[in-house]
Chain A
Amino acid sequence: MKRAVEIAAAAVVAVFLILALAGDHPTESPIREYIVAHGVDDTGAVNLVTSIYLGYRAFDTLGETIVLLIAVSGVMFLVKRSKPPTDRDVDQ
């Protein structure tokens, strides 16, 4: 019985995934058509994904690098505090 419920749930999920992948993406959006038409000319990057995240949305990418910087700072702060000082730490 439990196995049958699991298979049914997996089948439902599979149907949704296949429907989502089938055919064109259903949402029509003017920005998508604009980027496909003008992306290479506007930024010079042949790879359209790159032309979006470093051309049109470079500011967004800067935010992502700030997230990484804060993550590094946080890890360095937390790990340094939890570790007893060694000779190496004293040297620095």
Chain B
Amino acid sequence: MRHKTDILDVAARKLAPYMFVFGLYLVTYGDLSPGGGFQGGVVIASGIILLAIAKSVDAVEELIPLRRFAVAETTTFGLLLAVGIGGVVAGAGFLADFVGRGAIGPLPAARFVYALNILIGAKVAAGASLICMHLFGDER
């Protein structure tokens, strides 16, 4: 594992968790405030990419194997399709809201939009970081 500088190392390792938390906030509050699955997923991915640039792709791979990103990418896509087909089965139409609306409270009221946001957030986070880590992979 190549060591760059202490400043880069420490700053990246201290900053990345906050980027993950902010990305999760954007994903989970996407139905209420600006943000959403795509944007939050990219913020999470940029945290992973920051670690990959500042430390190395190998360091990230020790944390989470690259293979697991690929599995997450394809699994969430399958789940998205399953949610869409679930709408057809429930008689509402492809990707139509079939779970209904919850009451205003601690749980999100727009359950369907919330679920889609989380699936898309996981998919974009896995996909965007996978692309970058494969492109950085030649460095190692």
Can you list 18 contacts pairing A with B, beta carbon distance less than 8 Å?
A44-B113, A47-B34, A49-B36, A50-B36, A50-B113, A53-B36, A54-B112, A54-B117, A59-B94, A61-B116, A62-B80, A68-B123, A68-B124, A69-B74, A71-B127, A79-B135, A79-B138, A82-B138
User: Are A72 and B36 closer than 8 Å at their CB atoms?
Assistant: no
Measured CB to CB, the nearest residue on chain A to B129 is A72
How many A-B pairs have beta carbons closer than 8 Å: the answer is 97
User: Are B137 and A47 closer than 8 Å at their CB atoms?
Assistant: no
Measured CB to CB, the nearest residue on chain A to B111 is A44
Partner of A83, one of B37, B97, B128, B138: B138
Tell me, yes or no, whether A46 is within 8 Å of chain B by CB: yes
User: Are A47 and B31 closer than 8 Å at their CB atoms?
Assistant: yes
CB distance from A44 to the nearest CB of B (A): 3
User: Are A55 and B97 closer than 8 Å at their CB atoms?
Assistant: yes
Interface residues of A (CB under 8 A from B): 43-47, 49-51, 53-55, 58-59, 61-62, 64-66, 68-69, 71-72, 75-76, 79-80, 82-83, 92
CB-contacts of B89-114 with A (<8 A): 94-97, 101, 109-113
CB distance from B80 to the nearest CB of A (A): 6
Tell me, yes or no, whether B71 is within 8 Å of chain A by CB: no
Tell me, yes or no, whether B3 is within 8 Å of chain A by CB: no
By size class, the interface of chain B is 35 or more
Tell me, yes or no, whether B67 is within 8 Å of chain A by CB: yes
CB-contacts of B7-35 with A (<8 A): 30-35
User: Are A72 and B131 closer than 8 Å at their CB atoms?
Assistant: yes
Q: CA–CA, A76 to B97, complex, Å?
A: 34
User: Are B70 and A65 closer than 8 Å at their CB atoms?
Assistant: no
CB distance from B44 to the nearest CB of A (A): 14
User: Are A59 and B124 closer than 8 Å at their CB atoms?
Assistant: no
User: Are B131 and A71 closer than 8 Å at their CB atoms?
Assistant: yes
Q: CA–CA, A24 to B113, complex, Å?
A: 29
Measured CB to CB, the nearest residue on chain B to A72 is B127
Tell me, yes or no, whether B134 is within 8 Å of chain A by CB: yes
Q: CA–CA, A72 to B111, complex, Å?
A: 29
Q: CA–CA, A59 to B113, complex, Å?
A: 13
